Chains A and B, each alone.
Chain A
Amino acid sequence: MSSAINVVPERTGEPSSWGLWLRQIGAIFRFDIQKNFLGRRSILIYLLALLPLFPLFVLAIFRPPGNEWRDFNRYPEIYAMLYNGLILRTVVFFGCAWIFMNLFRGEIVDRSLHYYFLSAVRREVLVVGKYFSGLVTSIVLFTGTTVAAMLLLYLPRFTSQSVRYLIEGHGLTQLLSYAGITILACIGYGAFFLVVGLFIRNPIIPALLLYGWEWLNFLLPPLLKKISVIHYLNSLTPVLISEGPFAVVAEPTPAWIAIPSMLGVTLLVLALAAYRIRHMEVRYGSD
């Protein structure tokens, strides 16, 4: 220990340097992504990610009754309904809730958050590292689900037609659009649930409230629709679907407004998370 004094600062550069922050974000990202993919809590995420694929797999083997399944031109609409109803609103929503809430809440439950707080790292850097780990986890899993679900719907029954549609038609554009929407959803929902996990002891209740708000979005007046994530995501979908006879119709927000708005709100929410964590205490007993 004779060489102890001040060794670390000299070897790691100025504490506020960007290089150091990037290294620290990388270290946090690496540590957390292992937990996200391989931890005990990841089983639920894998099940959620596979949820839309099970029925599609069954449908690929057993031909369902009904004419709509024999008409290739109906498939973009079928996929749009599957994506909107199951993948986006359920899998991505609850998947992000689980992944991002557990970034901090999981560490509080495991009583291991203090190790991060006792490291020479700005707490804001910790938020960024953890957010990126959650983002990469959710994007990999749910974009994978989005793509796999589309391929599993199209390819088994109309293989050559589907390949042509994907390569020569609108298929690839649609696939990339859906993947992009999934990524945006992970960015937006992720930031929201990260903050909820930091502020609220039992984050399930706000998650369910937001879920209800997002589901009832089709009934809301146009102004209120805009206070939701799903409105902006729906505005970006390549195939518009009917929301039913009771839906209040509102103009979709153009992509050039929807995407920057969502990213802007995400940044604001992350700033709130950074503020919160700067003042956060570790008191496991009361958490």
Chain B
Amino acid sequence: MTIPSDQLIIFDNVSKFYGEILGVNRVNLQIAPGITSLVGPNGAGKSTLMNLMTGLLQPTRGSITLLGIPTDQPERLFRKVGYCTQFDSFPRGLTGREFINAYLRVHGLDNKRINELSQVALERVNLVDAADRKVAAYSKGMRQRIRLAQAIAHEPVMLILDEPLNGLDPMVRAETIALFRRLAAEGLHLIISSHILHEVDMMSDRVVLLNNGYIVAEGNIHGVRDEMEEHPMQILIRCDQPAKLAAYVFAQDHVVEARLHDDRGGLFVKTRDADGFYLMLNRAVAAGEVNIESITPVDDDMSAVYQYLIGTSGGSA
């Protein structure tokens, strides 16, 4: 199904150079609604890509549209888009509520609407109790949340979040991920950059992997993983007859390795066709050849994709 361009983020041959230094190069990308994560090590170009798509930076070459709106039209763009940057700074002397209200007022809203929207935003990020305290007295996590509240306060349809989980304690981090999920379920288009790969795995419908200013891979995490033919998928199967299963799977062309687990209670398989393998396994179970206790894809996740494509270990980019 073709998605109309007014629902997409479109990068058309975009490059950004800071003098001689490369920011991103020749980015051709279409991001569809849902939750998309930008992943890559420091300096990969994640923030540059986000700043380009919100007009904080202007491309050296190429063009960008969000929901059909060029990025040089902030008056139209930010009626639909909210951006929570990584800049941990605020205008001086404001309370959390004043901070949100001030910029809602700049949008041109009336006071009644401003008060309604800021209250809803504060509730969403659980900061109602601290809303009338000065932002300068907030903890790092609270500052992160008030910036998030400011970004969602005008009820955008697209939300761009640069490392939104930084500085949050585990409890708030889980709440925030749940909030992102709720926002996505309500139809919001979310673009998130993160270096915590298991969180990317938990949150994202699709990923864009960046390294050294280039897009290395993009798409559904499992789709990206499937396409990496030089790295066969690794699957651990716990079952009652691993030796019998090993003989069974060796007959398949796509299986490149099958090894008994050290405790003899399972089988470790490497396959070039995960879908074909799962189908074969279903047949074996249906035929009563083997009883499966568990199946665990060992490297069908963001961390493994990251490691294979970029070459550093997962967990933190």
Contacts and interface: CB of A to CB of B under 8 A. Distances in A.
B107 A278 contact: no
A8 B155 contact: yes
Contacts of B87: 111, 114, 284
A120 B78 contact: yes
B72 interface: yes
Contact of A110 (B76, B89, B157): B89
Interface in A1-47: 1-9, 11-13, 15-16, 20, 23-24, 27-28, 30-31, 35, 38-40
B185 to A, nearest CB: 9
Interface string B164-206: 0000000000000000001100111000000000000000000
B133 interface: no
A135 B80 CA distance: 33
B57 interface: yes
A58 interface: no
Contacts of B106: 24, 27-28, 31, 116, 119, 121
A1 B183 contact: yes
Contacts of B51: 282
Interface stretch (B90-98, B238-246, B257-265, B278-286): B90-98
Contact of B105 (A1, A11, A31): A31
Contacts of B105: 27, 30-31
Interface residues of B, number: 44
Size bin of chain A's contact surface? 35 or more
B186 A8 contact: no
Contact of B57 (A38, A40, A283): A283
A16 B75 CA distance: 8
Interface string A140-156: 00000000000000000
Contacts of A282: 51, 56-57
Contacts of A39: 92-93
Nearest to B16: A281
Contacts of A20: 108
B187 A9 contact: no
Nearest to B160: A118
B150 interface: yes
A12 B75 CA distance: 12
B137 to A, nearest CB: 17
Given A8-B154, A23-B108, A27-B108, A118 B78 contact: yes
A5 B187 contact: yes
B219 interface: no
B107 A122 contact: no
A12 B78 CA distance: 13
B103 A119 contact: yes
B187 A4 contact: yes
20 contacts: A1-B183, A4-B156, A4-B186, A4-B187, A9-B79, A15-B76, A16-B75, A110-B92, A112-B89, A112-B90, A114-B85, A115-B150, A118-B74, A120-B107, A121-B75, A121-B78, A121-B107, A282-B57, A283-B18, A286-B18
